[in-house]
Chain A
């Protein structure tokens, strides 16, 4: 091959690398901008009082969002406790018995559910939970968020389990292990990492959801731990404060946004560290 041709190839190679680099930077730019903007605007309002107090009445300065942080935690945790087992169970079923009629119906329903706008899920939960109960409640908020997390968990479970090599199932089967135990003791543990990352993805996804909570958890300016009563949450606080006419509240909204992002970021990092440790044994 002639020298010119080789040089041309090297040039093309460099060009391709440059293009990929440029695209990567373009992808990262929005994230960096959002984070930077949040830090600039939010950092000023974050202090110890901010995360250890509940909001003060309009007109008074200060006040915090502790009730919203804890509220978010409780609502999300309840949603996960109620719906993650359903998602994992459904995912196992769909991956193990992928050709049955039920699996096909389930898969289609989940796809539709995943595409349902969150505001619709909020209204739906209002109709089937808030109206019969006669009041807004954190529990109804958890139901709405749970319905949103369900497809994410189910799909990631299905995708993960499908990737578990057939050889592993055969290894266990050949040892005289019954089918249900092969699935529960070999296939699921081997896919645990993928399933867990699906759960985390779902968690971060719902932790920023506002629309499903508007008609369900509703919000609460006071501290509340009763899941049968209205409860505050970070996205709700951001929504209410940001759309208010008060400068003081705008600052709180910036602060709350930063806290929310930090929490999501924290969950992700913790999970990464946890999994890398487990692997490194």
Chain B
């Protein structure tokens, strides 16, 4: 059964060729106590692509991606049903801590650790886990992660300064660097630009497109234009249901579902 779902999703869209699937959601439902927020979702995420999850407020986008690194179960009353397969292995059978090392996350509002310097923030994943690394390796990770997050040139002379003294956009890129430092396979971005100004947003979007070479990106957004700009594939979520999942170009030009079309044309959202 699993195979058939995979097959169905893989051949979705116009191309018939087999795609490289890293993450697969199978009949995934998420609950807060009794109420079902995410309903029976089947979704296959392609490796080294940017996939956006788009939909109006309250449609379950954030809850959906919080299931993928098992943060949803941390919320009071949060439970899930169904499978989330990372390279074919169900993450619900893996250690949650392992899952979160493989699947990094960046949140809506920049949240660098206030007591840490920029340097420490980048390697926070190691520091907080009590992993001690030689200085030169740490330096390497910090420079590499900050460079990937397009922040290195701006902060390389101020690594000892506290992370919270950076601007909002820089803080968010610091948070991206912090997630990248753990060398995740998948990076979840939960509306990463909704608290930022247009200039900082443009910078982050540019970064997202660059990053897909090294990491698979899943981005939640309620900004239609953003989904169109950055993503290869787009999933449209409405009232907890997956309405449509297509290559972005196709979904934006010839949406199959009436609800998608209405959302894209600004009827609601």
**B109 to A178, Cβ gap below 8 A?**
no
**B71 to A172, Cβ gap below 8 A?**
no
- A173 CB contact (under 8 Å) in B100, B127, B130: B100
Question: Max chain B CB contacts within 10 Å: which of A173, A192, A281?
Answer: A173
Report if B111 contacts A (CB, 8 A): yes
**A174 to B71, Cβ gap below 8 A?**
yes
Chain A interface category by residue count: 20 to 34
Tell me the complex Cα distance, A172–B162, Å.
Answer: 17
Given contacts A173-B74, A176-B97, A176-B182, contact A181 B115 (CB under 8 A): no
**B97 to A174, Cβ gap below 8 A?**
no
Given contacts A167-B111, A186-B113, contact A174 B105 (CB under 8 A): yes
- B71 CB contact (under 8 Å) in A165, A173, A181, A192: A173
Tell me the complex Cα distance, A281–B100, Å.
Answer: 32
Report if B175 contacts A (CB, 8 A): yes
**A186 to B162, Cβ gap below 8 A?**
no
29 example contacts (A-B, Cβ-Cβ < 8 A) are as follows: A165-B111, A168-B111, A168-B113, A168-B114, A170-B71, A172-B113, A172-B124, A173-B71, A173-B100, A174-B105, A175-B101, A175-B129, A175-B178, A176-B129, A176-B182, A177-B97, A177-B125, A177-B128, A181-B129, A181-B130, A182-B128, A185-B127, A185-B128, A186-B128, A190-B113, A190-B114, A190-B115, A192-B115, A281-B161
The smallest C-beta distance from B91 to any residue of chain A, in angstroms, reads 12
Tell me the complex Cα distance, A170–B113, Å.
Answer: 11
Residues of B with C-beta under 8 A to A189: 115
- B104 CB contact (under 8 Å) in A165, A175, A190, A281: A175
Residues of B with C-beta under 8 A to A174: 69, 71, 100, 104-105, 107, 179
Interface residues of B in 136-161 (CB under 8 A from A): 161
What residues make up the interface of A, taking CB atoms closer than 8 Å to B? Answer: 165, 167-168, 170-178, 181-182, 185-186, 189-190, 192, 281
A172-B124, A174-B107, A175-B178 given; name 11 further pairs at CB < 8 Å: A168-B113, A171-B112, A171-B178, A174-B105, A175-B104, A175-B124, A175-B125, A176-B98, A181-B130, A189-B115, A190-B114
Across chains A and B, the number of contacting residue pairs, with CB separation under 8 Å, is 69
Tell me the complex Cα distance, A176–B101, Å.
Answer: 5
Interface residues of B in 87-117 (CB under 8 A from A): 97-101, 104-105, 107, 109, 111-115
Residues of A with C-beta under 8 A to B128: 172, 175, 177, 181-182, 185-186
Residues of B with C-beta under 8 A to A167: 107, 109, 111
Tell me the complex Cα distance, A178–B98, Å.
Answer: 10
Chain A's closest residue to B129 (CB) is A177
6 closest A-B pairs by beta carbon, nearest first, are A176-B101, A176-B100, A175-B125, A174-B105, A167-B111, A177-B128
The smallest C-beta distance from A43 to any residue of chain B, in angstroms, reads 43
Chain B's closest residue to A167 (CB) is B111
**A281 to B71, Cβ gap below 8 A?**
no
**B113 to A171, Cβ gap below 8 A?**
yes
Residues of B with C-beta under 8 A to A172: 113, 124, 128
Tell me the complex Cα distance, A177–B113, Å.
Answer: 13
Residues of B with C-beta under 8 A to A177: 97, 125, 128-129
Question: Max chain B CB contacts within 10 Å: which of A173, A176, A192?
Answer: A176
